[in-house]
């Protein structure tokens, strides 16, 4: 998965194979394979620090290019195959209580 929104700092990625999974509150983090309701953890990920090292609400041109390039987060090959995915964003760079995904690219087996 490639994430290009710098607001996200830490998130949990879960998946499920069921066609009608239960909508439950998920934890902020979980180890790979840990199950909560119908949902299975595919990993907890942390967005890398911007190259400038500036405080969270500041950015220079190098940081802007870093954000535009995006960051790849690779789900381990032994993670479950899924029909649906869910993201639990538990920390943002600006400390805000919301986030939006500008671009998410998923790749893998289409089966």
Domain limits, the chain: 2-105
For 57-68, letters b (16+ CB in 10 Å) and e give: eebeeebeebbe
- What are the residues whose beta carbons fall under 8 Å from the beta carbon of 12, sequence distance 6 or more? 26, 27, 28, 29, 30, 41, 43, 44, 45, 87, 88, 90
Counting Cβ atoms within 10 Å, is residue 3 exposed (0-12), middle (13-18) or buried (19+)? buried
Is residue 34 within 8 Å of residue 41, measured between CB atoms? yes
Q: What mean pLDDT is predicted for residues 64-85?
A: 87
Count the Cβ atoms, other than its own, within 10 Å of residue 99: 17
User: Is 80 exceeded by the pLDDT of residue 22?
Assistant: yes
Q: What is the pLDDT of residue 4?
A: 43
Q: What is the pLDDT of residue 18?
A: 94
Q: What is the pLDDT of residue 69?
A: 86
Reported as a pLDDT band with limits 50, 70 and 90, residue 5 is very low
Please tell me the pTM assigned to this model.
0.79
Reported as a pLDDT band with limits 50, 70 and 90, residue 57 is confident
User: Is 70 exceeded by the pLDDT of residue 6?
Assistant: no
Reported as a pLDDT band with limits 50, 70 and 90, residue 108 is confident
Distance CA 67, CA 73 (A): 14
């Amino acid at each position: 998965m490639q994430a290009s929104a710098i607001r996200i700092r830490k998130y949990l990625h879960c998946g499920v194979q069921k066609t009608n999974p239960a909508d439950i509150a998920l934890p902020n983090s979980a180890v790979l394979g840990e199950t909560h309701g119908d949902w299975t953890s595919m990993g907890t990920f942390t967005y890398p620090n911007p190259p400038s090292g500036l405080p969270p609400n500041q950015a220079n041109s190098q940081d802007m290019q870093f954000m535009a390039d995006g960051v790849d987060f690779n789900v381990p090959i032994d993670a479950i195959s899924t029909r649906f995915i869910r993201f639990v964003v538990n920390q943002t760079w600006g400390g805000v209580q919301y986030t939006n995904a500008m671009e998410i690219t998923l790749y893998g087996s289409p089966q």
